[in-house]
Amino acid sequence: MSSDHPQTDIPLLQAQGLAYARNDEAVFGPLDFVLQRGEVVLIEGDNGSGKTTLLKVLSGLLEPVSGSIELDGEALTLARISHQVALLSHLPGLKTDLTPLENLRFTIGVFGMRPGITPALALASVGLEGYESVPVRQLSAGQKKRVALAKLLLVPAALWLLDEPYANLDKEGIDLVNRLLDAHARRGGAALVTSHGAYAFTTGTPRRLPLRQSA
């Protein structure tokens, strides 16, 4: 896999003239940006400016009306997306009747696993040690978010698309997201993070990608 031997000169993600419209009404774009490995970019915009839609387009769930997306220097196809891209949407994708550990095992079965990590380790690193066998139903909204973050730690995707990862998290949780993003960037991964800006990035100054509604 190319992700095992990152070539620094080719950007992980490159978008040119990317635009999406719903029923002929422009949602965002046209948008040009480049995301290098090791970079974390914050997508900024007001409510309804198309942040979530942008992530869905980049993940391949929605088809852009115009423009091109290149992943690792090649045009995006669904097969390539799914190995390289992990999307954390506002729906956590957790089964509330199962325990966090059982949810993570399902994720591993479907998406595979990074080397050097286990589901228990992932849960411990998001601060959920001791909650391995509590049904997700009984966890708080913030704890559910942490389980969803543990899923990100396990899957072998290089590009993280995080939709409002700070929502529902306490101050410690926000630090946790920042730590996870830093570690991911150091491993040669990259992330696009949306936030309406209230409490994002207490540490560091990431690159920002402002999203404005096109007139």
Structure tokens at 40: 């974390």
The mark string for 123-162 relative to another protein (x by CB under 8 A, - otherwise) is ---------------------------------x------
- Specify the residue, 151 or 173, whose C-beta has the smaller distance to another protein: 151
The mark string for 43-82 relative to another protein (x by CB under 8 A, - otherwise) is ----------------xxxxx---------------x-xx
> What b-and-e string marks burial along 29-44, b requiring 16 or more CB atoms within 10 Å of the CB?
bbbebebbbbbbbbbb
Quickly count: other Cβ atoms within 10 Å of residue 122's Cβ: 25
Q: Could you tell me which stretch among 29-37, 89-97, 187-195, 204-212 binds another protein (CB under 8 A)?
A: 89-97
Quickly count: other Cβ atoms within 10 Å of residue 130's Cβ: 9
Structure tokens at 30: 């046209």
Q: Are 140 and 102 in contact (CB under 8 A)?
A: no
- Specify the residue, 26 or 117, whose C-beta has the smaller distance to another protein: 117
Quickly count: other Cβ atoms within 10 Å of residue 84's Cβ: 20
- 92 belongs to the binding site for another protein (CB under 8 A): yes
Amino acid code (one letter) for 148: A
Q: Say if residue 165 is preceded by a cis peptide, omega within 30 of 0.
A: no
- 207 belongs to the binding site for another protein (CB under 8 A): no
In the set 2, 6, 39, 102, which binds another protein (CB under 8 A)?
102
163-202 residues near another protein, rule: CB under 8 A = none
The residues binding another protein (CB under 8 A) are 1, 3-4, 59-63, 79, 81-83, 85, 87, 89-98, 102, 105-115, 156
